[in-house]
Amino acid sequence: MNEEQQLDQALRDLGASMRLEQAPARLEKKLLKTYQHRYGYKRIWPVWALACAATVFLGALLVNAPAPKANQKPVPVTASTEPVTTAPEVVTDFFPVRNGPVFEDEVSQLIRVRVPRATLTRYGLPGGHDGPESTVRADVLLGRDGMARAIRFVR
């Protein structure tokens, strides 16, 4: 083997030996956080899947959450999101789904769902036990993590 061939082989060998080199895992995590911060955490889920997820979550709250106190007043939540529909509707104020205030900058999406009618009672609203339908319309504010932040009811 002449020197040229030896050089060829040596370079090929070096290239092959480092073919499995990868950037450290922490870089992926770091860049993912940067991406989420820049573009918002929006999964491309179909709307029906989001609605189902919100309904299941709210249903779980209905089963597990303690009943609100009788004199608890709704905490108005200001959201900068656009109304879901421009048709004339009557809506309540937003009720926080979990304890604590809801901040505008953590809200990423507003979706329209149907929830069990009994959910009205959980938030101190009338009509939880009567009405022609077993579900009512509601708007749910989702945070950047896809979890519900607040709910309002629609008539």
Point out which residues bind other proteins (CB under 8 A): 1, 3-4, 6-7, 9-15, 17-19, 21-24, 27-28, 30-32, 34-36, 38-44
Residue type, 70: A
Other CB atoms within a 10 A radius of the CB of residue 140 amount to 26
Cβ distance to other proteins smaller for residue 112 or 144: 144
Contact 119, 136 (CB under 8 A): yes
Rounded CA separation 92/125 (Å): 9
CB of 79 to other proteins, least distance (A): 19
CB of 61 to other proteins, least distance (A): 26
Tell how far CA 61 is from the center of its chain: 16
Strand partners, 111: 140
CB of 37 to other proteins, least distance (A): 10
Cβ distance to other proteins smaller for residue 72 or 81: 81
